[in-house]
């Protein structure tokens, strides 16, 4: 009988499952803690919508986002709060299940998934407790302002980029390994 973690001698394409992949969830917890701490500091130290210039192109500006990324659906009457909360919970559960099944050679995936989970849960906390997401990082140039964001948004973005990178490079790596074994 074959162990799930040991490739068979007849099938060299089987990749061993990572031992204890859910241990990577510490990264999600760290993202949530950093996100909530920075949002608390921003909320207690900044006046609402009053920019504090840090650099000529960067301000700390406390804003409340009732929508999603880039204030998508922010002008709707409130249903989006629960819609985005449901998406965050569903995505976090699905990504945690995916994380539990990753393989040994998918280390970047082991980092990407908890980053996204932590970011989603950090923003979920805001939606459920406040009814909006606290944003405070504001970049601008020549009168154009990028939508304000927070640490959770950074984690989600970095996780998504890492996920895309892993899907491209991981597939190349697996094809190369498969060709080398033939």
Please confirm, yes or no, whether 9 is among the known catalytic residues. no
Please confirm, yes or no, whether 135 is among the known catalytic residues. yes
pLDDT value at position 7?
47
pLDDT value at position 68?
61
**DSSP symbols for the chain:** ---TTS--SS-TT--PBPSSGGGGHHHHHHHHHHHHHHHHHHHHHS-BT--EEEETTEEEEEEEESSSGGGTTTTS-SHHHHHHHHHHHHHHHHHHHHHTT-BTT-HHHHHHHHHHHHHHHHHHHHHHHHSSEEEEEEEEETTEEPPPB-HHHHHHHHHHHHHHHHHHHHHHHHHHHHHHH-
Of 9, 35, 105, 153, catalytic: 153
pTM here is 0.81
pLDDT value at position 83?
81
Q: Locate the domains of the chain by residue range.
A: 21-67+75-181
pLDDT value at position 72?
53
pLDDT value at position 179?
77
Q: In which residue ranges of the chain is pLDDT below 70? A: 1-14, 67-81, 182
């Amino acid at each position: 009988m074959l162990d799930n973690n040991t490739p068979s001698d007849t099938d060299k394409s089987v990749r061993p499952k990572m031992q204890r992949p859910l241990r990577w969830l510490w990264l999600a917890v760290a993202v949530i803690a950093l996100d909530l701490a920075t949002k608390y500091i921003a909320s207690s130290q900044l006046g609402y919508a009053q920019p504090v210039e840090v650099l000529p192109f960067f301000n700390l500006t406390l804003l409340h986002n009732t929508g999603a990324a880039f204030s998508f659906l922010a002008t709707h009457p409130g249903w989006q709060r629960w819609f985005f909360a449901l998406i965050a919970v569903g995505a976090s559960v699905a990504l945690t299940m995916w994380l539990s099944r990753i393989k040994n050679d998918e280390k970047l995936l082991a980092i990407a998934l908890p980053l996204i989970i932590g970011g989603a849960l950090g923003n979920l906390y805001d939606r459920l407790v406040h009814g909006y997401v606290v944003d405070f990082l504001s970049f601008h140039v020549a009168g154009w302002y990028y939508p304000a964001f927070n640490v959770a948004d950074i984690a989600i973005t970095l996780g998504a980029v890492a996920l895309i990178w892993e899907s491209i490079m991981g597939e190349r790596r697996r094809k190369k390994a498969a060709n080398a074994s033939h």
